[in-house]
Chain A
Amino acid sequence: MIKTPAWWLWVLGGAIGVFLIAPSIVVIIMSFSSGKMMMFPPPGFGLTWYENFFSSSEWIGSALNSLKIAVLSALLATALGTLTAVGLAGARPRFANVTKAIILSPAIVPVVVTAVGMYFTYHRMGLSSFFSIVAAHTMLGLPYAVVTVSASLYGLDADLELAARNLGAGPWRSFFRITFPLILPGIAVGAIFAFVSSWDEVVAALFLTTPSLRTLPVTMWEQTRSTVDPTIAAASSLLTALTLFLLVTAITFRRFSPATTRERAR
């Protein structure tokens, strides 16, 4: 028999929850401050700092840079990740495991280490700052795409593709007509994760940005070191809001995935 948890477990769990969420909440509250300094609790409320954010070309410029880089690297990571996952699903297990380990390594190796390597490699290759960051973020986003698409493929009844082949579809058509639509929710989730991982990435970006090209997290980091005005809080809140929105979207996609036919069929 399962007992309902004791009261102290609720208290402990609640305390941990508050501890985890509090910093974000505090920042969001401070972003609506009417004061000129970052302080909590704020002396009053207003939208000054959001106005400041949206009227500053530095903030808006770096936000747009971040957006462009995130979209581009998410697209690249998703396309490559989908191809990789499809290829690995049909490969010999030993080969697939080794390859997967290599592809997942950016998620395990400390980003600082990877970033230093990228800094020197891309510089030597003569890649522009923009494309260096796109390449770096593609690499960092790839594991998300591979993992989510692989999971979708695993849940797919392998006979579906054989059936498509049997009914007259060549390898390409059976992929685009059958496999692709069924794993699309997984691909979308992978794309969202890849986007978010680029959107708030700061370590690699710090190495690869130049004064003329900054991403939003880099600008925030630099502003935090020089001035301490609440525009940073407004920027943080916007960053958090977009991320939160995308993650909720991802969860929704997962729930409505039609690809989980395997357990039904058995």
Chain B
Amino acid sequence: MNRPPAIGQLRIEALSKQYSDTVALKEASLQVEAGEFITLLGPSGSGKTTTLKIVAGFIRPDTGKVVLDGKDLTDVPPHLRDIGMVFQNYALFPHLTVTRNVAFPLEMRRLPRAEIRRRVEATLGLVQLAGFGERRPRELSGGQQQRVALARALVFQPRLLLMDEPLGALDRKLREAMQLEIINICREVGHTVLYVTHDQEEALAMSNRIAVFHDGRIEQVGTPEDVYQRPVSLFVATFIGESTTFLGRLQQAGSGLRLVAGGLSLPVSTAGARRADIAAGAPAALVVRPEAMSIRPVDGCGRAGGSPHLATARGRVQNCVYLGSVRKNVIALEGGNTALVRVALEGASGGEPGREVEICWDIEAGIVVPPHDRSVPVTPLPAEREG
């Protein structure tokens, strides 16, 4: 079932789509290489599903085009696009058996009967459903239906595979197992995959690259490491992963830069500020990941003027949540900010609510991004996004 690597190169050029009162997509462009697993990530209404439907041919864009392997698909009807799709609710045909469901795209292509049987059997084997062929979709569990949908979308060896939140209906355990399985199957078959989800953990776990959607725009495209460690905007920084955000203004302090936020003055990385193209005097946001911070008793980090590479802030433990392998501490800082600190359980101090503590982090671990964001509510509270 392997295929030449040149198949499945997708180019999305400046797609825009407007509905009567809302703009769904603004000039979204994306280049997907053959064999790449790329995730469209964003909150609901951010344009990711609209993009997928335009690629599938279900929605016509107002402007822009979709080019697959050098062929402009913008005016090609969906059934001639040769693109497979797994729907959110699987969309299995309830009146057909599993075999007939999977055979459907091959029957539409008028393949010989023997060839259809051979391919259906091979593909059902690939998704580990050999022997389930005579069942009806409603006789299968959610995970099995998911596999049938995947088999049906793969069996005709499409140029491109689209998946629209395919794991949304499954429970957490099954979802994680299916994530791995989908990656393995797609790698085995070598398909280019365009995967839509609003679950940032899923995106980080599965993708070669992630396109982060916000308000109908693609805000950043990059590897999971890129978008997590080097987000280009406050939205990307707060949407992906947990973080503590400080909003303030950059100030020159000797040879370094500091962010003055509320009552705090925090040293920031000069290189980081340069990367974000923010000069001294300009407003900025500083984002710190919970695992980059540590908690000490007061004075444990040394007073200001200690290490020039450490940023410190004082606060009081507000809450401490036990999460098995780690403990999550919510700390109310001087000046009104709230910090989220994750510490490994072993040897971790911190803990009891009400205790005075100091938090500190390596200034290179602090991410400097522009502070304005079109629609992100600017609250100092850390973004909570579990599963």
Contact = CB atoms under 8 A, between A and B. Distances in A.
A160 B104 CA distance: 12
Contact of B95 (A165, A168, A174, A182): A182
B79 A163 contact: no
Nearest to B102: A167
A265 B93 CA distance: 12
Contact of A265 (B89, B105, B152): B89
Contact of B93 (A160, A170, A173, A266): A160
Contact of B89 (A165, A166, A182, A266): A266
B315 to A, nearest CB: 44
Interface in B66-117: 77-85, 87-91, 93-95, 104-105, 108-109
Size category of the binding interface on chain B? 20 to 34
Contacts of B89: 157, 159, 265-266
A165 B91 contact: no
A264 interface: yes
A261 interface: yes
A163 B95 contact: no
Nearest to A264: B138
B56 interface: yes
A153 to B, nearest CB: 14
Contacts of A170: 77, 79
A152 to B, nearest CB: 13
A178 B156 CA distance: 19
Interface in A201-225: none
Contacts of A261: 94
B84 A166 contact: yes
A164 B78 CA distance: 10
Q: Which of B81, B93, B138 has the most CB of A within 10 A?
A: B93
A64 interface: no
Contacts of A173: 108
A265 B140 CA distance: 12
A224 B85 CA distance: 66
B85 A166 contact: yes
A265 to B, nearest CB: 4
A13 interface: no
A89 interface: no
A157 B156 contact: no
A14 interface: no
Interface string A139-178: 0000000000000000001011011111111100110011
A173 B87 CA distance: 20
B87 A168 contact: no
A178 B81 CA distance: 19
A167 B105 contact: yes
Contact of A162 (B82, B87, B90): B87
Nearest to B162: A166
Contacts of B82: 168
Given A168-B105, A169-B108, A159 B91 contact: yes
B87 A159 contact: yes
Contacts of B95: 181-182, 258
A166 B77 CA distance: 9
Contact of A167 (B88, B90, B138, B152): B152
Nearest to B87: A159
A166 B83 contact: yes
B109 A168 contact: yes
Contacts of B322: none
A164 B77 CA distance: 12
Interface in B128-156: 138, 152-153, 156
A247 B108 CA distance: 38
A168 B91 contact: no
Contacts of B79: 165-170, 174
Interface in A10-47: none
A162 B109 contact: no
Contacts of B90: 265
B156 A168 contact: yes
A168 B78 CA distance: 8
A208 B79 CA distance: 49
Contacts of A181: 95
A167 B94 contact: no
A266 B104 CA distance: 23
Contacts of A166: 56-58, 78-79, 81, 83-85
Contacts of B88: 159
B167 to A, nearest CB: 15
Nearest to B136: A258
A258 B93 CA distance: 10
Contacts of A259: 94
A265 B91 CA distance: 8
Interface of B: 56-58, 77-85, 87-91, 93-95, 104-105, 108-109, 138, 152-153, 156
27 contacts: A157-B91, A159-B91, A160-B93, A162-B91, A163-B85, A163-B87, A163-B93, A164-B93, A165-B78, A166-B56, A166-B78, A166-B79, A167-B79, A167-B84, A168-B80, A168-B109, A168-B156, A169-B104, A173-B108, A174-B79, A177-B104, A178-B93, A181-B95, A258-B95, A259-B94, A265-B89, A265-B90
Interface of A: 157, 159-160, 162-170, 173-174, 177-178, 181-182, 258-259, 261, 264-266
7 closest Cβ pairs, A-B complex: A168-B108, A167-B105, A163-B91, A159-B91, A265-B89, A165-B78, A166-B85
Given A159-B89, A162-B87, A166-B58, 15 more contacts: A159-B87, A160-B91, A162-B56, A162-B58, A163-B85, A165-B78, A166-B84, A166-B85, A167-B104, A169-B108, A177-B104, A182-B94, A258-B94, A265-B90, A266-B89
